[in-house]
Structure 1
Amino acid sequence: MSTLSTHILDISTGKPAQGVRVYLEQDGVVLATAFTNAQGRITAFIPFLPAGRYRLVAEIGAWFTETGRDTLYPCAQIDFVTGETADEHFHLPFVIAPGGWSTYRGS
Structure 2
Amino acid sequence: MKISTHLLDTSLGKPGQGIPVTLESIGTDGAGTACGAGVTDADGRVASLSETSLEPGDYRLTFATAAYFEAAHGTVFYPRIVLYISLPAARDHFHIPVLASTFSYSTYLGS
Q: Structure 2 length as normaliser, TM-score?
A: 0.87
CA RMSD of aligned residues (A): 1.3
CA-CA distance at 1:64 after TM superposition: 0.8
- Residue 105 of structure 1 pairs with residue 104 of structure 2: no
Aligned residue type for 2:16? A
CA-CA distance at 1:68 after TM superposition: 4.7
- Residue 69 of structure 1 pairs with residue 68 of structure 2: no
| Match in the other structure for 2:98 | 94
- 2:97, 2:65 → 1: CA distance? 13
- 1:101, 1:40 → 2: CA distance? 15
- 2:46, 2:65 → 1: CA distance? 15
CA-CA distance at 1:63 after TM superposition: 1.3
Report sequence identity in percent.
35
Instruction: Give aligned pairs, total.
Output: 105
Q: Which runs of 5+ in 1 are unaligned?
A: none
Q: Structure 1 length as normaliser, TM-score?
A: 0.90
| Match in the other structure for 1:14 | 13
Q: Is the 8 A contact 2:73 2:102 kept in 1?
A: no
Q: Is the 8 A contact 1:52 1:83 kept in 2?
A: yes
Aligned residue type for 1:51? P
Q: Is the 8 A contact 1:69 1:98 kept in 2?
A: no
Q: Which runs of 5+ in 2 are unaligned?
A: 26-30
Q: Is the 8 A contact 1:11 1:96 kept in 2?
A: yes
Structure 1's consecutive aligned runs of 4 or more residues displaced over 3 angstroms after TM superposition are: none
